[in-house]
Chains A and B, each alone.
Chain A
Amino acid sequence: MTNSPKTKALTGAQAVAQAMRQINPDVVSVFPITPQTAIMMQFSQFHADGLVETELVRVESEHSAMSCCVGASAAGARAMTATASAGLALMWEILGVASGLRLPIIMPVVNRALSAPINIHGDHSDAMGARDQGWIQIFCENGQEAYENTMLAVKLAEHKDVMLPVMVCQDGFITSHGVQNVNLFEDKVVKKFVGDYEPKKWLLNTDDPVTYGPLQLQDYYFETQKQRADAMLASKKIYLEIGKELSKITGSNYPLFEEYKLKDAEAVIVVMSSTAGNTKVVIDKMRAEGKKVGLLKPKLFRPFPYTEIAKALANKKYVAVLDRSENYGANAPLFGEIKNALFDSVVCGDKDVCVPKLKSYIFGLGGRNIFESDIEDVFDVLLSDNFDNKVGYIGLRGEEK
């Protein structure tokens, strides 16, 4: 049964700050960057008002924010920070240390474009630049998802078979600064759900000294990396288990990806985060006109659910993948993964699978708006059965529809 939540008008950033207040992490390191700052300003106020017992460390850079989390987490604390864009890029080196040392750090990321040119608005290039650093990445459509996934992330990261850091991503400004209705669950319910962090080997346990971060050469490094890769794969199942547990509180579901009117769809859009919400509106409208359109919204981007997605897209006629980031000289990140997934199902000899015709679109870089009419156009292109495999650019100057 769901616990009666309180509905509040909150931005996505405030929703995450509320989750952090309820989680009451031991250590939080803080550094400003637009549009993430909205989270940490709110959390700092909670701290100033005595609503959390957290040790707040106002570091001098994001590099130190992540370094501080690594120290705190290895010391035995539940550690969090939050960032965006250049901040995530500056942390990049230490992201790999965090996951390599198997530290369950939680980090809300408010997705924002990378420089140059400098741009403060929402796109996914920051998270995509960090996707191969051994972090679990969850993408959220709205403030509610960001709030709930932040709680889920704590349990997922700290699960004994996972022990990996988690990024919880929301779209810069669109989600982080857009006011939405957010259902907040009772503090004590959230606290009980996340529980306490019980580290196995921790620096502050001085009776049992441990060496974190040794030098591993040709003889051991390889095995350590394999263990990290295995944990990453294992986390998929554990994500689903913890999601079931969370469902009991929230009444929502936590699948690897969301399907919206997908079952009988002929034309499918695959898109993450806030644009998935717009796509649903368009789907409803087009369905009313009798057009068989649907959505697949990946939530877990790392680990990527290849087989499950391949199954869900099997026998669809047309699939367009919408990426909110470039991948200069290569397939766009999400498109590349979808293509991989479908190829897998073919080489595995699954006879029932007929690979859909694919089209890659890039949209929304640097916060460029995408309109419902743009999404409708994409569906129309798919349904026309008359399109090439060149990358389409939505809303780009000079790009014809």
Chain B
Amino acid sequence: MNYKELVNKPQKFAPGHRSCAGCGFPPIVRTVLASTDDPIVAACATGCLEVTSTIYPFTSWGIPFIHNAFENSAATISGVEAAYNALKRKGRIPKNKKIKFVAFGGDGGTYDIGLQSLSGALERGHDFTYILYDNEAYMNTGIQRSSSTPFGASTTTAPAGKVHQGKEEWKKDIMQIVTAHHIPYVAQASVHNPIDLSMKAEKALNTPGPAFLVVLQPCTLGWRYHPSMTIDMAKMAVESNFWPLYEVENGKYKLNYKPSKAIPIVDYLKPQGRFKHLFKPENKHLLDEMQKKVNERWDELVKKCE
């Protein structure tokens, strides 16, 4: 789809929700939902997306939607998809009626507390697409560290202080974990590139069986940058090779974008308040370590894509 087609699709996620100015997830949700003309049923984990879009008696969801709890978006959509199969078999839903199933979850709801539920649903082979909007912390409860939070970032449960300099562990590689389930389609995308995102969402939605898509979602409050810069932040994450755009289709890796010359990681980190402490002279070695890690992971990925 091109931009024009994308923006002219019917809106399935209505404005009027209460996410922050500059929040990255509304365009992700809209783009994903616009990537099929079939009816969609969505499940969503507890988190910013769910609490800002379903404040009773209002809802932003123009499609059937269910929020169950924090850690069970994938198990919930499993039940919905199972119901679809059963009711179709029993003739309560017309045989030719196609419905797409999508489960949304944040990084906390996916990398951490919902990992088991996701793994189970992938292994069982339900026909659904999992969309992980990754803002790299538990944002809804006030910016706590998750296993997706990058090394060095200051969060409210791993803050930078006199002795500790924010998160001391590396970001978990969810793509590898999901790929290890040998599902037909796994992809990583970013909110700044809706054409790439929509292409991946379309593929994911049209893939029979489970598909997984992780989308980087900059968060103005959590990452501490100006609300006008969400798209720039996402772009820099990709341009620095911190967040490569790639897909794994039936086990085959493909790099979707290769910066002609990657920008240094510090350019990406600099505008973000969560990394401010790393720019003290005594923390320079941490920035060096980060650059080294980004290079290593990128080289590993490029090899897989050859």
Interfacial residues, chain A to chain B (CB-CB below 8 A): 26-27, 29, 53-55, 57-61, 63-64, 67-77, 79, 93-94, 97, 203-206, 209-217, 220
User: Are A71 and B83 closer than 8 Å at their CB atoms?
Assistant: yes
User: Are B83 and A53 closer than 8 Å at their CB atoms?
Assistant: no
User: Are A79 and B76 closer than 8 Å at their CB atoms?
Assistant: no
B137 contacts A by Cβ under 8 Å: no
User: Are A71 and B92 closer than 8 Å at their CB atoms?
Assistant: no
A53 proximity list for chain B (CB < 8 A): 86, 89-90
Shortest CB-to-CB span from A209 to chain B, Å, is: 5
User: Are A58 and B124 closer than 8 Å at their CB atoms?
Assistant: yes
User: Are B80 and A215 closer than 8 Å at their CB atoms?
Assistant: no
User: Are B66 and A74 closer than 8 Å at their CB atoms?
Assistant: yes
User: Are B64 and A60 closer than 8 Å at their CB atoms?
Assistant: no
B154 contacts A by Cβ under 8 Å: no
List CB contacts (< 8 Å) of B69-88 with chain A.
69, 71-72, 75-80, 82-87
Shortest CB-to-CB span from A86 to chain B, Å, is: 15
Give the CA-CA distance A69 to B92 in the complex, in Å.
Answer: 18
Other than A64-B75, A76-B87, A206-B99, give 9 A-B pairs with Cβ distance below 8 A. Answer: A27-B79, A54-B86, A72-B82, A93-B69, A203-B65, A203-B66, A209-B61, A214-B55, A214-B59
| CB contact between B64 and one of A27, A203, A214 (< 8 Å): that residue | A203
List CB contacts (< 8 Å) of B247-271 with chain A.
none
B68 contacts A by Cβ under 8 Å: yes
A203 proximity list for chain B (CB < 8 A): 41, 64-66, 80, 83
Shortest CB-to-CB span from A72 to chain B, Å, is: 4
A214 and B67 contact, Cβ closer than 8 Å, known pairs A71-B43, A72-B82, A75-B83: yes
B66 proximity list for chain A (CB < 8 A): 70-71, 74, 203, 211-213
Stretch from B113-121, B284-292, B293-301 at the A interface: B113-121
User: Are A213 and B67 closer than 8 Å at their CB atoms?
Assistant: yes
Number of A-B residue pairs having CB atoms within 8 Å of each other in the complex: 164
A209 and B82 contact, Cβ closer than 8 Å, known pairs A60-B120, A64-B117, A71-B43: no
User: Are B87 and A71 closer than 8 Å at their CB atoms?
Assistant: no
User: Are A63 and B72 closer than 8 Å at their CB atoms?
Assistant: yes
Give the CA-CA distance A248 to B89 in the complex, in Å.
Answer: 32
| CB contact between A59 and one of B54, B56, B78, B93 (< 8 Å): that residue | B78
Interface centre among A29, A67, A77, A97 (most CB of B within 10 A): A67
Which B-chain residue is minimally distant from A79 (CB atoms)? B79
Give the CA-CA distance A211 to B51 in the complex, in Å.
Answer: 12
A73 proximity list for chain B (CB < 8 A): 79, 83
Q: Provide 26 A-B residue pairs closer than 8 Å at the C-beta atoms, listed in order of the A residue.
A: A26-B87, A26-B90, A57-B82, A57-B124, A60-B117, A61-B120, A63-B71, A67-B68, A68-B75, A68-B82, A70-B76, A73-B79, A74-B79, A75-B80, A76-B87, A77-B82, A94-B68, A203-B64, A203-B83, A209-B65, A211-B54, A212-B64, A213-B67, A214-B56, A214-B67, A216-B56
Give the CA-CA distance A72 to B84 in the complex, in Å.
Answer: 8
Give the CA-CA distance A58 to B124 in the complex, in Å.
Answer: 8
| CB contact between A206 and one of B41, B72, B116 (< 8 Å): that residue | B41
A204 and B75 contact, Cβ closer than 8 Å, known pairs A61-B120, A76-B83: no
| CB contact between B87 and one of A64, A70, A204, A215 (< 8 Å): that residue | A204
B142 contacts A by Cβ under 8 Å: no
User: Are B87 and A59 closer than 8 Å at their CB atoms?
Assistant: no
Interface centre among B55, B61, B63, B83 (most CB of A within 10 A): B83
Shortest CB-to-CB span from A57 to chain B, Å, is: 5
Give the CA-CA distance A67 to B57 in the complex, in Å.
Answer: 24
A67 and B63 contact, Cβ closer than 8 Å, known pairs A55-B82, A204-B41: no
List CB contacts (< 8 Å) of B84-111 with chain A.
84-87, 89-90, 92-93, 99
User: Are A64 and B72 closer than 8 Å at their CB atoms?
Assistant: yes
Shortest CB-to-CB span from A24 to chain B, Å, is: 9
Nearest 4 Cβ contacts at the A-B interface: A71-B79, A60-B120, A75-B83, A77-B83
B15 contacts A by Cβ under 8 Å: no
B55 proximity list for chain A (CB < 8 A): 214-215, 217
A97 and B80 contact, Cβ closer than 8 Å, known pairs A64-B120, A216-B56: no
A64 and B82 contact, Cβ closer than 8 Å, known pairs A53-B90, A213-B68: no
Give the CA-CA distance A69 to B56 in the complex, in Å.
Answer: 24
Give the CA-CA distance A354 to B65 in the complex, in Å.
Answer: 54
Give the CA-CA distance A213 to B55 in the complex, in Å.
Answer: 10
B50 contacts A by Cβ under 8 Å: yes
Give the CA-CA distance A206 to B93 in the complex, in Å.
Answer: 11
A71 and B76 contact, Cβ closer than 8 Å, known pairs A26-B90, A63-B71, A215-B51: yes
Give the CA-CA distance A64 to B57 in the complex, in Å.
Answer: 28
User: Are B79 and A29 closer than 8 Å at their CB atoms?
Assistant: yes
Give the CA-CA distance A76 to B82 in the complex, in Å.
Answer: 11
Interface centre among B57, B79, B85, B116 (most CB of A within 10 A): B79
Give the CA-CA distance A157 to B109 in the complex, in Å.
Answer: 31
B39 proximity list for chain A (CB < 8 A): 206
| CB contact between B78 and one of A71, A210, A216 (< 8 Å): that residue | A71
